[in-house]
Structure 1
Amino acid sequence: MNKKILGLVVSPGEAEKKVNTLIDMIPCALKEVSQNTEEWQVQTIVDSLTGSAESINEIFQKINAHTKKNAWDVTIGITDLPIFHEGKVVNADINEKNDVILISLPSLGWKLKKNVIKQLIIKMALTISESDNDSNNKRSPSFINIFPRNYKSVRLKIKETDSFHTRFILGSKIKGYMRILTGMTFINNPLNMLQTLSGVLAIGFTTGAFCMAFTTMWQLSYLFNGWRLLLASVSSILGMLAWITVSHNLWEVPSKKNRKKFRKLYNLTTLSTLMSSILIFYFILFLLFLLLSVTLLPPSFLGQTLGIKEGIGFTRYLDMHGLLLL
């Protein structure tokens, strides 16, 4: 039985967390797929792989250095950077000169699931392994269950690395861009931001609970129509989005180090991540206010205070919560 070593060079953060959960599964899966003809060992190194999304040569150099140092048979780099080829999204890039694979995690979009990443790593590793054993292998396995159906593989020579590359590219620029944006948002993990907003959440709930004790808030919610509350809520969310972005200096400005296309993508990812976090924040606050008001303010008492003879319905509670969130 042949013994081989698979080296994984992983970006820190979400990619590292995903891969760490797969370390024990990958060797067994590779052995099973190879029909017990190969025994695999997996080694992992965490490297930021920052480089530049516009030029992947530096990233390949870093990965290749790890390959030579550790004498790996197959090396796969997993980066959180987007990769593009002629404006189209690249899912993976195989450097045929040194058999190094680079996977762009954001290109998976919302499919950042453990099983999908495991399948991708296994198929990529076997692609290199089989091509080493069979010179007629064209490095074109099927990734239909992982990549979108309109993906295609392209073989071309890259000047930066002075070698031929096989790239797996998404066919549609628009869908690919949306997929990258979704993937980068998932990698940023909006739920992590909620930890920093926990103090704001506590203050917001305390303030809202205090305001709920005064009938003025009930009366205002009765006078406000639905469209007015909706407009006020949207304005409040956008205001919070702008405040967090500006106060934490999260907006990338033009510089010599970044191109306009990538700067727009990073800024859109920032806005998408923040918006997701803020919407979750408001939803949690809304549920807390709903539970508190239903518990402390009976419909009959609230209707009597507002002078509504027919009583208070559930929608009136929703209106009051919308006002409290402002």
Structure 2
Amino acid sequence: MSHSGQHLPEIVVGLVATPPDHPARVAARLTTELAGRLAEQVSADVRWTVREGWGEVAPRRDGGVEALLDDVARRRMSDKWDIAICLTDLPLHAERVPLVAQTSARRQVAMVSLPALGLHQLRAARAAVPDLVSRLLTDASDQRVPPIERASAEMASRMPAVQREVGEADPGERRYVASGLIGRVRLLTGMVRANRPGRALLGLSKLLVGAFGTAAFALTTDTIWQMGDALGGLRLAVIMLLGLTALVAWLIVAHDLWEEPDHDTPAELARLFNLGTVLTLTLATAVSYVVLFVGTVLVGALLIDTSVLEQTLQRPVSFTDYLTLAWITSSLATVGGAIGSGLENEETVRAAAYGYHPEPGGWRDEKNAR
């Protein structure tokens, strides 16, 4: 069987990740299994070879999807691949709705916008890429594989992010777009997923330690106990929201995370980048706040004896009072943490900016490895 496989026609599929950050992680997982999926779903009479490569660390923003496809096409020709599929974290649009994927038979390349796939990007890419390869080869009239006519509804059933196919003047150019409202919500959640909020959370580790120290010190003052008892739930919620907002705003301002529109970055793309940055930081700071709150509750229960708290508040206390005390203490400590956030490592905080991509480490581009 292996001997006969050597005589099958070979089709080389290049899988390009741009930038080589989150897209490269998805591409690495997909590369190991793509040849088998292509044999199952496209044609078993072809020897599939999958190559993995990097795109630009900072992909072009001004030309949209067309510039991206042109760049991938040049890479395909230089590496002598039959077709190339690009995975990118750029949020792209077509007809004012999120663009999920696009194929170009003329250039023999296709593109998948990972954020448009939502949270489950690897699973959706597994379903999308074989379909895109099949569509490219069919539209290019490649005789090595049988033509497969698939309706866009069939592709949408395997990839829920796709609502419909948009035909271009050139029959070999196909765009797969999402719905309006749901597609935009999926795009935003996908941007947060692609921005790796866990990395932003680790980047705030020093801030969290500083805030926890502030909270532990504040717990020893009976003035905080009386303030927590006097303030109602609404005021405590407002203080918490103000603290979290101050922290996010300070991180953005202190570390210059705000994306300004310029000749390379259209205003709409800058708005999306900024929204992705704000959502990522909001999620990371909210998780940090929960960790701080839980830690403060535990420390308060250990440090403050019930009889001492009852003597200060002049009434019987319960576990709810410890929760209230931890609530106001955590909120005030968060404001202190916002001021101390300038001590964070610049590179780890900068990584929370959606448009910022550091030079990759640990990934090897096959083009550079040869």
TM-score normalised to the size of structure 1? Answer: 0.89
1:24 corresponds in structure 2 to 32
The answer to whether 1:155 aligns with 2:164 is: no
Give RMSD over aligned pairs. 2.2
Indicate which of 281, 304, 310 corresponds to 1:274: 281
Q: Identity over aligned residues, as a percent?
A: 25
Q: Give yes or no for contact 1:89–1:107 (8 Å, CA) kept in 2.
A: yes
| CA shift in 2, pair 1:57/1:33, >3 Å | closer
1:128 corresponds in structure 2 to 136
1:91 corresponds in structure 2 to 100
How big is the shift at 1:247? 1.0
For residues 157-196 of structure 1, what are the structure 2 equivalents within 5 Å?
A: 157=169, 164-172=172-180, 174-196=181-203
For 2:179, the aligned partner's letter is: G
TM-score normalised to the size of structure 2? Answer: 0.79
Q: Give yes or no for contact 2:86–2:111 (8 Å, CA) kept in 1.
A: yes
| CA shift in 2, pair 1:88/1:136, >3 Å | same
Indicate which of 53, 69, 79 corresponds to 1:70: 79
How big is the shift at 1:285? 0.7
Q: Give yes or no for contact 2:218–2:224 (8 Å, CA) kept in 1.
A: yes
Cα deviation, 1:163-206, whole Å, max 9, x if unaligned, reads 8410001232x332222222111111111112221111111111
What is the alpha-carbon distance in structure 2 between the residues aligned to residue 235 and residue 91 of structure 1? 36
Cα deviation, 1:191-240, whole Å, max 9, x if unaligned, reads 11122211111111112112212222222211221111111111111111
The answer to whether 1:117 aligns with 2:130 is: no
What is the alpha-carbon distance in structure 2 between the residues aligned to residue 50 and residue 35 of structure 1? 33
Cα deviation, 1:19-57, whole Å, max 9, x if unaligned, reads 212322222222233463223221111112611265323
Q: Give yes or no for contact 1:128–1:139 (8 Å, CA) kept in 2.
A: no
The answer to whether 1:258 aligns with 2:271 is: no
For 2:290, the aligned partner's letter is: F
The answer to whether 1:15 aligns with 2:20 is: no
The answer to whether 1:283 aligns with 2:303 is: no
Unmatched runs of 5 consecutive residues or more in structure 1:
none
Indicate which of 313, 316, 321 corresponds to 2:318: 313
Q: SS of 2:156's equivalent?
A: coil
The answer to whether 1:322 aligns with 2:289 is: no
Cα deviation, 1:242-265, whole Å, max 9, x if unaligned, reads 111111112223433333322222
1:234 corresponds in structure 2 to 241
For 2:165, the aligned partner's letter is: S
**Greater alpha carbon shift after TM alignment, 56-65 vs 129-138:** 129-138
- Count of residues in correspondence between the two structures: 317
| CA shift in 2, pair 1:118/1:135, >3 Å | closer
| CA shift in 2, pair 1:202/1:264, >3 Å | same
2:156 corresponds in structure 1 to 143
How big is the shift at 1:136? 7.5
What is the alpha-carbon distance in structure 2 between the residues aligned to residue 53 and residue 273 of structure 1? 24
What is the alpha-carbon distance in structure 1 between the residues aligned to residue 287 and residue 109 of structure 2? 40
| CA shift in 2, pair 1:157/1:167, >3 Å | same
What is the alpha-carbon distance in structure 2 between the residues aligned to residue 53 and residue 91 of structure 1? 18
| CA shift in 2, pair 1:185/1:29, >3 Å | same
| CA shift in 2, pair 1:13/1:2, >3 Å | same
Q: Give yes or no for contact 2:134–2:148 (8 Å, CA) kept in 1.
A: no
Q: SS of 1:103's equivalent?
A: strand
The higher-RCO structure (CA 8 Å, 6+ apart) is: 2
For 1:60, the aligned partner's letter is: L
